[in-house]
Chain A
Amino acid sequence: MTRQAIGLGVILAIALLAGCRGASAVAKPAGYIQAELEASPISLDPRFATDAISSRVAELIFDSLVKLDARGNFIGDLAENFQRRSPTEIRFNLRHGIRFSDGRSLTAADVKYTYDSVMDAAIASPKRAALEPLASVAAPDDYTVVMTTRRPYAAALELATIGVVPRGSPARGATLPAGSGPFKLLSFTRDEALILARNGARPSAESAAGVVFKIVPDPTVRALELAKGVADFAENNIQPDLLGYLRARPGLSISQFPGSGYDYLAFNFSDPKLRDVRVRRAIALAIDRQAIVGAMLLHTARVASGMLSPENWAFESDVTRYAYDPEAAKRLLDQAGYPEPDGGGHMRFTLVYKTTPEGRRLAEAFQAMLKRVGIGLEIRSNEWATFYSDVQRGNFDLTSMRWVGISDPHHYYQVFDSRMAPPHGLNRGAYSNPAMDRLLEAAEVAFEPARRRQIYAEVQKLAAADLPYVSLWWQDNLVVMSKRIAGFAPYPNGSLLSFSDLVFDSGAPR
């Protein structure tokens, strides 16, 4: 035989040896539910978990001082109560009797250790930057934590949402630190599955004993696993066009809840044409968001008026809105000095986006809609890291992105304050408006809730009028769930905290 045939034999032999190594598919223990994830968590250690998937799983394992309720209000988690003692100090009184899953008691010293660890530059936590306003965390006794900020800081409770690990837990250790949350980690095989068991006794015989999170990258395959009954739960990772197929399956229920995921079109203010608010408004008027929500998103989103969704305590509804009006858009472009028919020749922008099939369709819809008013749009798509690099470096005219999990309106400071412009901030388009800066600075020291709400109402009105972003839509939370389980309560930010309340319907197979 020829050398190629021998090569074939070699490969087969190697493959055979490899296959003999013994591998096991993900097995769901009895009494567990299986939830689908689209990607592996990057890190479950709450000191490092920043991506949405890692954060959602980590908050099932680790408790924090405070957590968010469904309206974006902070409520006690480890903290039984908390008081702001001064503009720079908050005191948290911890609940007694809380234990980590390894049996150790959770005390204030563990909270202090966790924060000291994150603030230690040597461990390179991605959360260190967010703790910049924090001066210190003290533990005067076992059940009291005192958080002090460097300056008066109204959004300080946001800093108290990091999951607590036992003191002495090494950073990036071989094993995950123990947590005190409703679940504990049994196993984690990257790119395959992670298995969480209930931490402590099951509240009732019907309660789920644990959760298997299976990592299934392909959206169609996730839908097939639900249809087959292999998987019991999926949230926000099933494509809208597959919902009809799943609806026809008698064993599944599909729920749609208001979500806080916010899609937007950002402008780069280094382009002189885009610095003209008339051009930005023309672009907002030229995009038929209602049509996109209906035809492309199949009504799984709501047209947005700003970054905060209506469920948020600080939401302001009385803002400028931009219903689809291409004629008004043309008039604005005329006023801005770009009259037809030459407008299209002069107005040419580059839209950069992350390469996904949905992104491509969306970019093409924008392109077609803007063309109707004489604006040319060149589409440039790249894989995530290159796209992210372009956005950070301001290498774009327009970009379409999404904020996930916005809860506190302080987020406006991070994205619209002129001091947060790149290279070290989230104001990627380098938007600068002194009036906005003044409002955001005032909000930082507004401790009275009504006053804070009032300032953020002004911020939302200014953002809608000045348009550093075109607000596109708020994504609904889409939950596909097996009818054999019940008890899931949705959070606008997609949190899975209510997994601890999931129960099997009596008589349903486990």
Chain B
Amino acid sequence: MIAYLLRRIAALLPVALGVATLTFALIHLVPGDPVIAMLGESAAPADIEGLRHQLGLDRPLGAQYLSFLAGIARGDLGQSIATGVPVATLIRERFPATLELAGAGLIVAIAIAFPLGMIAGANPGGAADVGAMGFAILGISIPHLYLGPLLMIVFSLDLGWLPLTGRGGLSHLVLPAITLGTAMAAVLARMLRQSLIKVRCADYMRTALSKGLSPTRALLGHGLRNALTPVVTLLGLQAGGLLTGSIITEMLFSWPGLGRLMITAISARDYPLVEGCVLTFALTYVLVNMLTDLLYGLIDPRIRFA
């Protein structure tokens, strides 16, 4: 087990290095200057050079890159150029909000997708199928920027059931989670429907029906478990995307997450903060996959001893 864990961690290192390198290269290659953003266009050349030196931005790019990597190795992501606050502190403050939103979005996606997909898959071509898939198409088509305010108007403004914006208790989470999860729910529902229609023709389903099971019981008891495999594969692939995909939802609902922090940092060309945010998103994605593999290994001996 320990050897397996070490191998996985070793495999993580090149990925982290690649992400760090790409992030560093991209943010330094695009136009824009954090020093001018801080001092303004009219600043004296000496002041510009002074601050550039103070921030270490006058050193060769290679040297800056090595310092950046050395900082990461020490667990030091540096300080935000714009605010002077350690990047790690800012990320610690904001990342839980993003995780919370992504997690809730996932729950909403599953809660909507599974009933819809099953209803549609059990009755292909029927009214329920048409209705459910119509809903799914609407879910895929409707942009977050439209769905969010629409939900706000109905459930907050008109009905007064839920708050409009901000992060707080569960009530604050409902509308942003629905906004974030709906598109994913639509994709999952369509996939589940297709998968269920396919398994309906399988031999084991015919066997189950011939043994006297009702179509519904056969589908739930034998078909669903087999139909879920591609759905769960898709779900796993999309789950990571929810983390980064929450940026628009965060902006819309004034949700104080990492995405908003990153957008502000990009505008100010706050190099350390952008690098820290991107690295956090990427490593979380990789880490979740690694933990998945580890847990998978725990329950499947073939993986553990492979």
Contacts and interface: CB of A to CB of B under 8 A. Distances in A.
A99 interface: no
B164 A218 contact: no
A390 B36 CA distance: 13
A43 B44 CA distance: 21
Interface string A1-41: 11111111111101110110101111000000000000110
A127 B293 CA distance: 54
B104 to A, nearest CB: 7
B157 A11 contact: no
Contacts of A372: none
Given A192-B256, A392-B41, A5 B54 contact: no
Contact of B264 (A191, A220, A224, A426): A191
Contacts of B167: 23, 25, 192
Contacts of B296: 2-3, 6
A40 B253 contact: no
Interface centre among B46, B145, B296 (most CB of A within 10 A): B296
Contacts of A21: 96
Contact of A191 (B39, B260, B268): B260
A12 B153 contact: no
Nearest to B236: A4
Given A2-B229, A6-B292, A8-B106, A390 B31 contact: yes
A435 interface: no
Contacts of B288: 7, 10-11, 14
Contacts of B295: 3, 6, 9-10
Interface size class of B (residues with CB under 8 A): 35 or more
Given A4-B236, A217-B254, A220-B149, A15 B168 contact: no
B54 A25 contact: no
Interface in A375-405: 383-386, 388-390, 392-393
A350 to B, nearest CB: 15
A221 B235 contact: no
Given A2-B236, A7-B292, A191-B261, A217 B107 contact: no
B236 A225 contact: no
A295 interface: no
B257 to A, nearest CB: 9
A386 B289 CA distance: 35
Given A385-B266, A389-B31, A425-B42, A8 B256 contact: no
Contact of A16 (B31, B103, B239, B267): B103
Contacts of B256: 189-192
A25 B260 CA distance: 16
A184 interface: no
A389 B41 CA distance: 10
Interface string A440-468: 00000000000000000000000000000
B283 interface: no
A25 B157 contact: no
A308 interface: no
Interface in B123-157: 145, 148-149, 152-153, 156-157
B99 A14 contact: yes
A23 B165 CA distance: 13
Given A2-B232, A224-B149, A215 B266 contact: no
Interface string B83-124: 110000000001111011011101100000000000000000
A224 B164 contact: yes
Contact of B33 (A9, A23, A126, A389): A389
B56 interface: no
A422 to B, nearest CB: 7
Interface stretch (A71-79, A84-92, A128-136, A277-285): A128-136
27 contacts: A2-B233, A2-B296, A3-B295, A4-B232, A4-B235, A4-B236, A6-B296, A7-B292, A11-B99, A15-B99, A15-B100, A19-B104, A24-B168, A121-B46, A126-B39, A132-B44, A172-B84, A218-B149, A221-B149, A221-B165, A224-B149, A385-B31, A388-B32, A388-B36, A389-B32, A393-B31, A426-B42
Given A129-B42, A214-B254, A428-B41, 10 more contacts: A4-B292, A7-B239, A14-B103, A15-B104, A24-B168, A25-B169, A214-B166, A216-B254, A224-B149, A424-B44
Interface of B: 30-33, 36-48, 50-51, 54, 82-84, 94-97, 99-100, 102-104, 106-107, 145, 148-149, 152-153, 156-157, 163-169, 172-173, 229, 232-233, 235-237, 239-240, 242, 251-254, 256, 260-261, 264, 266-269, 288-289, 291-293, 295-296
Closest 8 CB pairs of A and B: A15-B103, A4-B236, A25-B168, A385-B32, A18-B96, A7-B292, A389-B31, A25-B166
